[in-house]
Amino acid sequence: MALDLTPSARPHGAQRMFSMTILVVEAFLVFFAALVAHQLIPEDRVLTWTWALLTALALLLCSRLLARGAWPYLLGAVLQIPVIALGLQVNAMWVLGLAFAALYVFGVIKGHQLDAEKDAVDARVLAERAAEDGPTGA
């Protein structure tokens, strides 16, 4: 089966729900990592807060844009890089950033698969109902 990364057409589908949830939780994670880095590296506080707040805001904005096509999903994948790179200031972010990046990719792929399966079931049910109703106008 070929890997299809086109976004689901469902307005409230599993792909969008999984991806949005992961991005929002990740924004909170970045904020809390900034709080940790604030105490660990006092000489880099401006860099830490600028980096963290811009990344968190970008994650939140991206989560709201997921309904607009495929590019926000790609943007979400690109935003995993600065999250992982926060490991330069907080060592735990190497692990947490990679874990969230894996969760994001899994959410996009598995959510798309679940939405496609739901679309197939919906199409089958609608076809069965149309067959039961028979031809209209007779």
Q: Look up residue 94 and give its two tokens.
A: 């190497």
87 within some domain: yes
> pLDDT digits over 107-138, tens only?
999 998 888 888 888 889 888 888 888 766 55
pTM of the model: 0.85
User: Cα dihedral sign for 50, 54, 57, 63?
Assistant: negative
Residue 138 inside a domain? The answer is no
Query: Is the CB of residue 101 less than 8 Å from the CB of residue 76?
Result: no
Report if residue 28 sits inside a domain: yes
pLDDT tens digits along 70-93: 899 999 999 999 999 999 999 999
Decide if 111 contacts 13 (C-beta within 8 A): yes
Number of domains in the chain: 1
58 in any annotated domain: yes
- Residue with structure tokens 């939140």? 60
In a domain, 9, yes or no: no
